[in-house]
Amino acid sequence: MIRKWKRAELKPDNFGLETNYLYTLDGRVNSRKVRFLLDLGAAGTVINRPGVAAVVRSGIAVRVRPSGGSGLSRITDALEKSAKAQVLIANRFKVGRIYWYKQKLLIHNAPIFRELGVYNQPFGLFGADLVRGRSFLLDFEGREFRIGKRVKR
């Protein structure tokens, strides 16, 4: 059964820091390449401003909603600092062979992007909102991420 789940490759990277590996996923937001750090501790999926600029250049219509109205438009980081964020609604979001449609991505230049040296390139955090209601498997040794279909309740 797990073999039928959709797959994406996990790529280890220490970003030139003296740390253990962090894992990234190659993604596409409206057909534009954006690399994402796997961060299932984050409630929402975040994309930085260079990532948004790349998506807008794709020529595919995108909607950016101002903050407010949705609980998803406020970001609180691990240090309990809170900030307002706009929401990008991606027509299609993909990592590996896994697709999401009409997916909300928070637009935020998180401080971790500067620490990792990816502040000026399309980058994001792959959050827990993308696996909510689904079974998933992380195989760090085999470098793969698998996700099942949404569970219907």
Strand, coil or helix: 41? coil
Contact present, 119 and 48 (Cβ < 8 Å)? yes
Given a cut of 50, whether residue 71 has pLDDT beyond it is no
**Does pLDDT of 79 surpass 50?**
no
pLDDT digits (tens, 9 = 90+) for 97-130: 999 999 989 888 888 899 999 999 999 999 999 9
CATH topology classification for 25-130 = Cathepsin D, subunit A; domain 1 (2.40.70)
Average pLDDT score over residue span 41-46: 89
The span from the CA of 72 to the CA of 80, in Å, is 16
pTM over the 0.75 mark: yes
| Residue type for position 108 | H
Domain boundaries, the chain: 25-130
Mean pLDDT computed over 88-102: 92
pLDDT at 75: 53
Q: Is the pLDDT of residue 78 over 50?
A: no
In angstroms, the CA 133 to CA 149 distance is 9
